[in-house]
Amino acid sequence: MIPLRDENPPTVTPLVTYGLIAVNVVVFLYEALLGPDLKPFMMAWGFVPRTLSEALVTGDRPVLDGVIPLVTSMFLHGGWAHLIGNMWYLLIFGDNVEDLLGHGRFLAFYLVCGVFAALIHYATNANSPVTTVGASGAIAGVLGAYLVAYPRTRVITLVPFFPFFQIMALPAVWVLGLWFVYQAFSGVLALGWSPKGTGIAWWAHIGGFAFGWIVMRVVLARRGRGGGTRMRPELA
């Protein structure tokens, strides 16, 4: 299923969401200009689990060599399809989460989701030499938060009915719930694969989604007790 848009316009301009998309696009364009220098650039700024292990466990590398890529890796992408897919999900679902949290809190939430997702990936691939890049973990956190806040909001979705496609309006709980089930199923299968990785950081997606889900549950519970001014909207 491919989400096309949601029926949930934000009440404020999602400046941080737009800014994150712009930064990711600019960084990707810079990657495209690197030519033969791209591989060392990705290895230096992408997240390599083994590098973090060497920094924190064995002490063979400076700590910052393993820690800084936890953040920088979420602004790198491995190709146009990778970039467009991630930014499309962020554009559809990020604006409403930013609307609920506010600009500054949303930016902090996004970055922490990305770091947490990378750490979950590390926990399942601590010795992997494969460079991990992409905003998927952070965006998975946004999806988890959206599912909690807007489970009944309709998402206009392109649904495959081989060999045709149909556009359907589905509740977010179905679109994002099925997305998570697929990630979880793939993540469990990946645990039995090569220690060098499967090419997709499934557990980063799972960890980011779970973290975002928990954070939004806490936020809405606190606001329900009078802890904030932006309340969860009533959804038809």
What are residue 62's phi and psi, to 5 degrees?
-60, 145
In a domain, 145, yes or no: yes
Q: Are 66 and 118 in contact (CB under 8 A)?
A: no
In a domain, 120, yes or no: yes
**Domain tally, the chain:** 1
Residue written as tokens 């988890």? 144
**In tens digits, what is the pLDDT along the chain, a chain of 236 residues?**
899 999 999 999 999 999 999 999 999 999 999 999 999 999 999 999 999 999 888 777 888 988 999 999 999 999 999 999 999 999 999 999 999 999 999 999 999 999 999 999 999 888 889 999 999 999 999 999 999 999 999 999 998 877 788 899 999 999 999 999 989 888 888 776 554 545 688 889 999 999 999 999 999 998 874 444 444 443 33
pTM of the model as a whole: 0.89
- Of 111, 193, 98, the closest CA to residue 146 belongs to 98
pLDDT of residue 228: 44
In a domain, 231, yes or no: no
SS3 state of residue 93 = helix
In a domain, 189, yes or no: yes
Q: Which domain holds residue 200?
A: 2-224
In a domain, 233, yes or no: no
In a domain, 192, yes or no: yes
Helix (H) or strand (E) holding 117: helix 103-124
- Residue-wise pLDDT for 188-210, tens only, equals 887 765 545 456 888 899 999 99
The CATH number given to whatever domain includes residue 65 is 1.20.1540.10
In a domain, 163, yes or no: yes
- Residue-wise pLDDT for 17-40, tens only, equals 999 999 999 999 999 999 999 999
Cβ of 161: how many Cβ atoms within 10 Å? 8
In a domain, 236, yes or no: no
